[in-house]
Amino acid sequence: MLSGIIVLVVVVALLFEFINGFHDTANAIATSVYTRALTARRAILLAAVMNFVGALTGDKVADTISHGLVSASLEEYVILAALVGAIIWNLFTWWRGIPSSSSHALIGSLIGAACVYSMSVEDIIWSGLLQKVVLPLICSPFIGILIGMFVMKIVFNFFANWSPHRVNKMFLRLQVVSAALVAFAHGTNDAQKTMGIITLALVTANALPEDSPVPVEVKLACAVMMAIGTSVGGWKIMKTMGRGVTKLEPASGFVAQAASAAVIEIMSRIGAPISTTHVITSAVMGVGAAKRASAVKWGIAQDILLTWVITLPISAVLGGASCFIIERIIEAV
């Protein structure tokens, strides 16, 4: 029989997955909607379905979260605190329309909660944090920019003699495919983080062995909640992603999505819980810069970059504060 705190952790984790779904919906569909490759309703439905399918594919990212970042000797309420801190940051950035990283909000909050719990850093697995979080955090956006810029230049050269109408017609169709690929890749990476958190909670409660893989029931529950969250949509963030960073046309929208999907999928296969938001936004910048540097609205890009930098430390503070408060409540009860 699971304790009340574990049940609460699972419920809050699924709430986080729901919020993650509508918070990051724009990542997969914003460019398709704003280039009119898809209507908003069809784009959201496509993203929800492909997020669900992607969430059931693989478990390396979930393994990183559940076994590779913090000690399994934590109390269950520490994981609850991590989820609360991440949810607060996600809701704030959603309200402000800023495409921040749900992934790094969760990881930062988990680290902050673990540090406050032990009043030290001994529960942090630093090698895993460096290799699976910090290095991909730094590298993946640059890879997204470079691939987006490189592929966009190839498209410019290859289709230079085509009429704009013919080019737009072809890439509008291809954008449906690229939107599906991004949504699938988003599911393989982002949904697995919550799977890993729930698995970590079950391990700390001795409901699962320490080296246990993600249970099928956990995979299904997270996939369903992400799909439901995706169906709600994230319109404020979509506005920033779709036309706030640079003006997108069908060809550039396709390239941004295809480049993003490739980077996200590669990182998922090596178990790196990267930010899909970082990668997609970077790819959008890359395709804009391929045309000319002034095509990118660098002021908005600077605001997004600042959010990337502060997400980990701020969410760590929120996770630590949540842990402190929850600990006091438990002691009082």
Cβ 167 vs Cβ 152: under 8 Å = no
Q: How far apart are CA 66 and CA 61, in angstroms?
A: 9
161 φ/ψ sector (left φ>0, alpha ψ -120 to 50, else beta): alpha
Q: What is the pLDDT of residue 1?
A: 47
Q: What is the pLDDT of residue 12?
A: 94
| Closest listed residue to residue 47, CA positions, set 241, 266, 284 | 241
Opening angle at CA 38, ends 35 and 44, nearest 5: 120
Alpha-carbon dihedral sign for residues 291, 295, 299, 300: negative
Q: How far apart are CA 39 and CA 240, in angstroms?
A: 17
Cβ 87 vs Cβ 96: under 8 Å = no
Quote the distance between the C-alpha of residue 182 and its chain's center: 11
Q: How many helices (H) and strands (E) does the chain have?
A: 13, 0
DSSP 8-state assignment for residue 121:
S
Please report, for the chain, the start and end positions of each structural domain, with discontinuous segments joined by +.
4-332
Residue 104 has phi, psi (to 5 degrees) of -75, -20
Q: How far apart are CA 67 and CA 305, in angstroms?
A: 29
Q: How far apart are CA 30 and CA 241, in angstroms?
A: 6
Cβ 29 vs Cβ 38: under 8 Å = yes
Residue with tokens 């895993």: 128
Cβ 158 vs Cβ 150: under 8 Å = no
Say how many Å lie between the first and final Cα of the chain, rounded. Answer: 21
Q: What is the pLDDT of residue 242?
A: 47
Residue 296 has phi, psi (to 5 degrees) of -90, 130
Considering the entire predicted model, what is its pTM?
A: 0.84
User: Could you tell me the two tokens for 196?
Assistant: 């890993």
User: Could you tell me the two tokens for 40?
Assistant: 């908003």
> Mean pLDDT for each consecutive 10-residue tract of the chain (333 residues)?
79 89 70 78 84 84 83 83 93 77 86 92 85 83 90 92 91 91 88 87 83 86 86 59 62 90 90 82 84 66 72 93 93 82
Cβ 271 vs Cβ 63: under 8 Å = yes
